[in-house]
Amino acid sequence: MNNRISSLREIYNLNLNDIEVNHYWNNGNEKELKIHRIHAYPAKFPSFIANKALDYVSENFNRPGLVADIFCGCGTVALEAKRKNIDFWGCDINPVATLIARTKSNCYNIKRLMEYFNKILLAFNKLNGFQVDYEQANERIKYWYEKESYIDLAKLKKAIDEVVPRKSKYYLFFMCAFSNILKPTSRWLTKSIKPQIDPRKKPANVIKAFCDQFMFMKAAFEEVVFLGESSSTIVTENFLSKKLKKPKVDLIITSPPYVTSYEYADLHQLSSLWLGYTDDYRKLRKGSIGSSHHAFDFKEIERKLNKTASCIVSRLHEKDISQARAVAKYFFDIQLSIKECETMLNNNGFLVVVIGDTEYKGVRIENSRHISESLLENGFAEVYLFKRKISRKNLTPYRDEFGRFTNDCGKRKVYHEEYIIIGRKI
């Protein structure tokens, strides 16, 4: 199959199974850096794809002056752009995601990190008499933590606040470290993509977890090399917000959330509550693309969907009306996002979207076809579609309602492939 798509007719007649796996996009040329693993993050963007996308555009067309990621998550594209000395702009509605992204995009003096680390431990030890009222804690935090763990975390947070200047990049570093030990020190079921308590879990010791996390992050930043002094701007905002000021860019590389995927506000609730981003994590669901928590006029949105989206929503409507509504809102938001991307891009600019298809109750959610159609409808004269295999994904083909892999064919199917869709604005 020719990977270039130039008309809507080609998209409508396209058999996705006929697309061959493209080896360029299938594997990376180097081992993933530790810095990409300084904080747990679900469905993380593969760093080698960001790298290859930057190289693909630079080598085949022109080196971009400014790169963007409109759903920047934990900052994979931001970091890879900085490694190549390319300026970056990104946004994400999730404040925990932008905390991680900003941390990864900074350069740190290792000696100063060690000085702060030692002072934090000293300050923690001096807080033995510090009174922490567990009973007055946020009810949701108390739900997840035993009293001893809560008290130690509260003392550690206070020690960091006392030692590290709030407006410094070093404060971001230690808040990121603190954030990543919140689940191990809680009763949260390890590696679960759904919030649930593990009644058999013994929470990790707070100080040991913090020390281990610091040492890993220190080693990660010692390993990475940044070329030059490129800039990174990362904002916490809904990309579709009218008040968000978007720059003109040469290249956008992004991976949108999946419609049947995670509630990121739920998964990051511990960090959101502990770091003071909200007093009720459910508030952070508002405005997020892919969330099922929306109030909207379904009929009005349904009329604005493109052909691919309309067909999928219609099939879903026969299976599950509630899910059909959520998918309709998701597709509509993706269409608006692509329209905004076209406005952001300079002439001869590129949009690279990485996404896979999924399935719900036997209906294939063809994100790849929907995005390809949306690109052609929004001023992208050239669209290229590539397929890659997801080699590390568990081969069990379904996920249950808790997000666990299963062989039950009545559950949501997981596809072991994803697509790289490239649109060129001419």
* E strand spans, 10-70: 66-69
Q: Give me the pLDDT at residue 391, please.
A: 64
* Residue 405's pLDDT band (cuts 50, 70, 90): very low
Q: Dihedral angle at the C-alpha atoms of 305, 310, 312, 314, nearest 10 degrees? A: 130
What percent of the chain clears pLDDT 90, i.e. is strictly above it? 71
Q: What is the pTM of this model?
A: 0.92
Tell me what the mean pLDDT of segment 400-406 comes to: 48
Average pLDDT, the chain: 90
**Going edge to edge, which strands form the sheet with 232-236?**
4-5, 380-389, 417-425, 345-355, 249-254, 66-69, 87-92, 232-236
* Residue 290's pLDDT band (cuts 50, 70, 90): low
Q: Give me the pLDDT at residue 258, please.
A: 79
Among candidate residues 208, 179, 206, the one with its CA nearest the CA of residue 101: 179
pLDDT tens digits for range 310-329: 999 999 999 999 889 989 99
Partners of 252 in beta bridges: 68, 351
Q: Give me the pLDDT at residue 39, please.
A: 97
| Cβ–Cβ under 8 Å, residues 308 and 11 | yes
* E strand spans, 273-379: 345-355, 358-360, 363-365
Handedness of CA 317, 322, 324, 329 (dihedral sign): positive
Q: Give me the pLDDT at residue 150, please.
A: 96
* Residue 408's pLDDT band (cuts 50, 70, 90): low
Q: Give me the pLDDT at residue 60, please.
A: 84
Contact residues for 328 (Cβ-Cβ < 8 A; gap 6+): 298, 301, 302, 305, 309, 313
Q: Which of 90-104, 274-288, 399-413 has the lowest mean pLDDT?
A: 399-413
Query: Is residue 225 scored above 90 in pLDDT?
Result: no
pLDDT tens digits for range 333-386: 999 999 999 999 999 999 999 999 988 888 999 999 999 999 999 989 889 999
Query: Is residue 100 scored above 90 in pLDDT?
Result: yes
| Cβ–Cβ under 8 Å, residues 2 and 398 | no
Tell me what the mean pLDDT of segment 50-67 comes to: 93
Dist. CA 178–CA 184, nearest whole Å: 11
Dist. CA 413–CA 91, nearest whole Å: 30
* Residue 409's pLDDT band (cuts 50, 70, 90): low
- Burial tier of 381 (Cβ tally within 10 Å: 0-12, 13-18, 19+): exposed
Provide φ and ψ at 12, rounded to 5°.
-65, -30
Q: Give me the pLDDT at residue 291, please.
A: 56
* E strand spans, 240-373: 249-254, 345-355, 358-360, 363-365
Tell me what the mean pLDDT of segment 199-225 comes to: 97
What percent of the chain clears pLDDT 70, i.e. is strictly above it? 92
3-state secondary structure (DSSP) of residue 258: coil
Provide φ and ψ at 38, rounded to 5°.
-75, -15
Token reading at 61:
């067309």
* Residue 396's pLDDT band (cuts 50, 70, 90): very low
Q: Which residue has the higher pLDDT, 349 or 402?
A: 349
Q: Which of 102-111, 332-341, 402-411 has the lowest mean pLDDT?
A: 402-411
Q: Give me the pLDDT at residue 398, please.
A: 47
pLDDT tens digits for range 79-96: 999 999 999 999 999 999
Q: Which of 170-184, 290-304, 325-339, 392-406 has the lowest mean pLDDT?
A: 392-406
Q: Give me the pLDDT at residue 156, please.
A: 98
Q: Which of 201-210, 223-232, 240-249, 331-340 has the lowest mean pLDDT?
A: 223-232
* Residue 292's pLDDT band (cuts 50, 70, 90): low
Dist. CA 133–CA 116, nearest whole Å: 27
Query: Is residue 160 scored above 90 in pLDDT?
Result: yes
Architecture of domain 4-95+247-260+288-425 in this structure: 3-Layer(aba) Sandwich (3.40)
* Residue 193's pLDDT band (cuts 50, 70, 90): confident
pLDDT tens digits for range 251-272: 999 999 877 555 778 889 999 9
The total of other beta-carbon atoms located within 10 Å of residue 167's CB is 8
Contact residues for 298 (Cβ-Cβ < 8 A; gap 6+): 325, 328, 329
Q: Give me the pLDDT at residue 414, please.
A: 55
Domain ranges within the chain, ordered by starting residue: 4-95+247-260+288-425, 110-223
